[in-house]
């Protein structure tokens, strides 16, 4: 932490404002939102500002894309939601998102583009009727 007390205080005010106004950007993935939010929280922590875990989790869930609403609701209703780390919350939601994409690829309705090419590499296919 460099600078005078006033500089550090001003930096903290700017970071706090950024946190309060934090939103996901158009076309941003859940991973990108998580990384930006996590970096901001780390910087706030360095400057002595922390938030209750429930508040951070709620903020993250409210930023999620529409296709994760159902999973977000079910996670929010869990008892451990208030104490769950942001990393664990992200992991649960990202896992769900990957599973949704895999289902689309396997059962139809999904297109193969650069986003889900990596998912194809992790999808196991079982052959039947081998001769």
Q: Is-contact 110 116, C-beta < 8 A?
A: yes
pLDDT score at 68: 85
In a domain, 31, yes or no: yes
Tokens of 53: 């875990």
Distance CA(113)–CA(3), nearest Å, equals: 47
In a domain, 127, yes or no: no
In a domain, 63, yes or no: yes
In a domain, 128, yes or no: no
In a domain, 108, yes or no: yes
Distance CA(44)–CA(86), nearest Å, equals: 15
Show the domain range for 115.
5-122
pLDDT tens over the chain, length 131 residues: 467 888 889 999 999 999 999 999 988 889 999 999 999 999 999 999 999 999 999 999 998 888 888 888 888 888 888 899 999 999 999 999 899 889 888 888 655 555 555 545 544 444 445 44
In the block, residue with structure tokens 């709620």: 58
pLDDT score at 17: 97
In a domain, 130, yes or no: no
Domain count of the fold of the chain: 1
In a domain, 113, yes or no: yes
In a domain, 18, yes or no: yes
């Amino acid at each position: 932490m460099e600078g005078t007390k006033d500089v550090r205080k001003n930096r903290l005010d700017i970071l706090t404002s950024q946190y309060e106004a934090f939103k996901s950007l158009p076309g941003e993935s859940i991973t990108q939102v998580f990384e930006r939010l996590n970096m901001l929280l780390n910087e706030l922590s360095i400057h002595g500002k922390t938030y209750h875990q429930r508040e951070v989790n709620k903020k993250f869930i409210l930023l999620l894309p529409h296709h994760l609403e159902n999973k977000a609701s079910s996670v929010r209703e869990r008892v451990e939601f208030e104490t769950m780390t942001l990393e664990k919350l992200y992991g649960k939601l990202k896992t769900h998102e990957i599973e949704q994409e895999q289902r689309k690829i396997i059962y139809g309705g999904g297109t193969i583009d650069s986003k889900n090419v990596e998912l194809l590499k992790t999808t196991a296919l079982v052959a039947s009727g081998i001769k």
